[in-house]
Amino acid sequence: MILPFLAVILTGNQIIEIPRADAPFITVQTIVELGTMDGRDRALARVLNETLLNGTQDFNRDRLLQYSTLAGERMKCTLSPDHFRIQLEVPSGQMMIAAEIMNDVLRNARLEDDDITATLNKIPFRQNNYWSEALQPWKLSYRIKRPALVSFYNQTFVPGAVRIAVSGPFNQGEAQAAFNSYLKDWIPPRPARKYLPEPDVVLEKHSAPVTTVELVGSQFAASDDNFPVQLLSATALGVGKWAATHRVLREKMGVSYRQEAVVTPTPLGFQTHIVFAGSPNDNEDKLTDDAKQALLADVRGWNEDIRARALGMAEGYLLNSAPINPLCLDDNRPLSTSLEDETFLQGYWPAKAGKPWDAKALLEQMRQVSLEQLKLAATDFLNNAQGRVIHGSR
């Protein structure tokens, strides 16, 4: 328990060290956990994501860019439904500068009025990817002022919500010492005033001539014993060519030219989505039910070949960086087996699932899933999924 208004030292559970002598640089992956958000919070989080790295108390924009590109990669911040992810790479031997930069970003972001105004002015004119809009269909419909954004930043970026994973060529204990030397006096803020929840405003129409249809399943926890079943079910339903969505929605029904199943995080766990995109037509509102019934019929005919194919796909994305991973944990992007993504998972997964990330162990659990369990999970998902259509422009 974190006592209010006292300085907090981040624990070993919050600063995870992964020394790797063979790594070409030090990567710092900081996860800031998000709780359940309403429409206003979502708007604030989106603006904060785009303004956070525009300068801090000790590092203006140019200096932050200069130091954060020492290893060749620009510092990045991405927003997912349950967390911010802040990524920083520095050369070997530069642990202290990494800790200094990350400390200032976490505690002393400038969030200047000009940057906020510029962000708000450009968001409405940005050409967003229709796929991202389908998975995150909330419109930025609230007026954002600096005091509200600063308050959201101070209430969100607090010691108890932060996990820092560091990997690279350094000695055990070096990252703990460096980061705690800067973060040791971090005092959580006083609780903010409570406001009535503000509703989300959901996008109803894409700017592109593409209609997307989505089936959204019930939430489930990463710590749930059924997580391997849910992940294998999503893989069989919609990962790669000749998954169920490809066979049914594209080849049999002819209603889509892109179709996938993805598993995205929520503040309470995860959700499986089936998303497919097609040309606008006059029967769009029927597509949800038609797709459900056709996919249910396909699942009833699944056999051991379908299960084996799904396991082959899972081995590809869990162990071999195949670009078909249904786990979209970083701004709707599937993760790889890169040093950065592996380090991120070592920081993210223990807080999410209550245990370290272990791709090999997860794959082995998926191999224990029987054909009947797989069919039951897919059937339950389809029976309980809620439909959502975002119409394409004509």
How high is the pLDDT of residue 2?
Answer: 33
Mean pLDDT to the nearest integer, 7-18: 68
Say how far apart CA 154 and CA 108 lie, in whole Å.
9
The answer on pLDDT for 6 being more than 70 is: no
Structure tokens at 317: 């994305």
Q: How many residues does the structure list for the chain?
A: 394
- pLDDT of amino acid 121: 86
Alpha-helical regions (H) of the chain: 39-51, 61-68, 95-107, 113-122, 130-135, 146-156, 174-183, 227-238, 244-245, 287-300, 304-319, 339-353, 359-367, 371-384
Residue 193 belongs to some domain of the structure: no
Are residues 352 and 289 located together in one domain of the fold? yes
User: What distance in Å separates the CA atoms of residue 389 and residue 284, rounded to the nearest whole number?
Assistant: 7
User: Which pLDDT score is estimated for 8?
Assistant: 42
Q: Would you state the pLDDT for residue 73?
A: 84
Average pLDDT over residues 365-382: 98
Q: Is the pLDDT of residue 3 over 60?
A: no
pLDDT at 4 over 70: no
CATH of the domain at 367: 3.30.830.10
Same domain, 142 and 239: no
Mean local confidence (pLDDT), 117-131 = 79
Residue 242 lies in a domain: yes
Our CA angle for 110, 112, 114, nearest 5°, is: 155
State mean pLDDT over 49-65. Answer: 92
In a domain, 24, yes or no: yes
pLDDT, mean of residues 313-342? 88
Do both 217 and 95 map to the same domain?
no
Q: Are residues 178 and 218 in the same domain?
A: no
Residue 290 CA: distances (Å) to CA of 35, 53, 177, 315: 35, 45, 58, 31
Element (DSSP H or E) covering residue 32: strand 26-33
Residue that wins the pLDDT comparison between 323 and 48: 48
Average pLDDT score over residue span 8-35: 86
User: Which tens digits make up the pLDDT trace of 178-209?
Assistant: 999 999 889 877 776 667 677 777 888 888 89
Higher pLDDT, 235 or 194: 235
Would you say residue 4 lies in a domain?
A: no
3-class SS of residue 178: helix
On whether both 257 and 166 belong to a single domain, the answer is no
The contacts of residue 370 (CB under 8 Å, 6+ apart) are none
Looking at residue 282, its pLDDT comes to 84
| 115-141 average pLDDT score | 81
pLDDT at 127: 64
- What CA–CA distance (Å, rounded) separates 124 from 127? 8
Q: Do 143 and 325 meet the contact criterion of CB atoms below 8 Å apart?
A: no
> Mean per-residue pLDDT for 141-166?
91
In this structure, the answer to whether residues 355 and 245 fall within a common structural domain is: yes
Half-sphere exposure of 299 (CA within 13 A, CB side): 25
- Number of domains present in the structure of the chain: 2
Residue-averaged pLDDT of the chain: 90
CB 241 within 8 A of CB 315: no
Question: Can you give the pLDDT at residue 20?
Answer: 96
Asked whether the predicted pLDDT for residue 50 surpasses 50, the reply is: yes
Question: Does residue 140 surpass a pLDDT of 80?
Answer: no
- Compute φ and ψ for 254, nearest 5 degrees: 65, 35
∠ Cα 323 367 345 (to 5°): 45
User: What pLDDT is stored for residue 91 in this prediction?
Assistant: 95
Model confidence pLDDT, tens digit, residues 296-305: 999 999 999 9
CA distance 62 to 55: 8
Residue 369 has pLDDT above 60, yes or no: yes
In a domain, 47, yes or no: yes
Quick check: is 34 in a domain? yes
pLDDT winner (highest mean) among 27-31, 39-43, 63-67: 27-31
The answer to whether residue 12 scores a pLDDT higher than 80 is no
Predicted local confidence at residue 52, as pLDDT? 96
Residue 200 covered by a domain: no
Residues 290 and 347 in one domain: yes
Secondary structure class of 386 (helix, strand, coil) = strand
Helix (H, G, I), strand (E, B) or coil at 108: coil
Is residue 234 located within the same domain as residue 322? yes
CB-CB contact of 324 with 316 (8 Å): yes
Q: What is the pLDDT of residue 225?
A: 87
SS (H, E, C) 280-342: CCCCHHHHHHHHHHHHHHHHHCCCHHHHHHHHHHHHHHHHCCCCCCCEEEECCEECCCCHHHH
* pLDDT (tens digit per residue) in 271-294: 999 999 999 988 888 999 999 999
DSSP state string for 88-105: EEE-TT-HHHHHHHHHHH
CA distance 147 to 34: 20
Model confidence pLDDT, tens digit, residues 66-99: 888 888 788 999 999 999 999 999 999 999 999 9
In this prediction, residue 204 carries a pLDDT of 86
Residues 54 and 61: their CA atoms lie apart, in Å, by 5
**pLDDT band at residue 5 under the 50/70/90 scheme:** very low
User: In a 10 Å sphere around its CB, with 0-12 CB exposed, 13-18 middle and 19+ buried, how is residue 78 labelled?
Assistant: middle
Residues 312 and 175 in one domain: no
Domain carrying residue 269: 211-390
Tell me which of 285 and 139 has the higher pLDDT. 285
Residues 60, 65, 68, CA angle at the centre, nearest 5°? 120
Is the same domain home to 178 and 223? no
Check whether 216 has a pLDDT greater than 70.
Answer: yes
Helix, strand, or coil here: 139?
A: coil
Specify the pLDDT at position 182: 94
Between these two residues, 285 and 219, which has the higher pLDDT value? Answer: 219
Q: Is the pLDDT of residue 332 over 80?
A: no
Residues 167 and 228 in one domain: no
Q: Give pTM, 2 decimals.
A: 0.90
End-to-end CA distance of the chain: 54
Q: How far is CA 356 from CA 123, 308, 363, in A?
A: 37, 27, 14
240 in a structural domain? yes
Residues 172 and 215 in one domain: no
Q: Does the pLDDT of residue 26 top 90, yes or no?
A: yes
For residue 159, what are the contacts with CB-CB under 8 A and spacing of at least 6?
A: 2, 8, 10, 14, 183, 186, 188
